[in-house]
Amino acid sequence: MLANTLRQSLCRCRPAAYAQVLRPLSTGAAVQAAEAADPIQKLFLDNIRTYSNKSKAAGGAPVDAGKEFDAKMKAEIDKLTKQYSTTTKGDLTKFPEFKFEDPKLQV
């Protein structure tokens, strides 16, 4: 409220004075916005940090996945292996690599 009153009174002044007074107010607001003042925002940031730590610890595996998830994943991979008749060489979790050779042309 004080900032709005100050802003309205400075609008009538020169633009240089307006900029000098409001610049510190805006930078102070940016510093305050960086801190999590809202408890819901703080909770959200804490959950993101917790999830980040869990995903780093999992090393690429799904976070908080139990034995049931692993069993379903294995069943789906087995089903796809049978459906597309792949061998054990092919890993269905990776994109296949294609190698095309240019044909030899006779001159």
Whether the full predicted model's pTM is greater than 0.85, yes or no, is: no
* Domain assignment present for 14: yes
Q: Is the pLDDT of residue 43 over 90?
A: yes
Distance (Å, whole) CA 22 – CA 45:
30
Q: What is the pLDDT of residues 59-101, one digit of tens each?
A: 878 888 889 998 998 898 888 888 877 665 667 767 777 889 9
Work out the pLDDT band at 28, boundaries 50, 70, 90: low
Task: Give the residue among 75, 56, 55 at the shortest CA–CA distance from 65.
Answer: 55
* Domain span holding position 50: 2-83
- Which is higher by pLDDT, 20 or 21? 20
* Domain assignment present for 102: no
* Domain assignment present for 78: yes
* Domain assignment present for 90: no
Residue type, 37: A
In which residue are the tokens 């020169």 written?
Answer: 14
* Domain assignment present for 103: no
* Domain assignment present for 20: yes
In total, how many domains does the chain have?
1
Q: Is the pLDDT of residue 36 over 80?
A: no
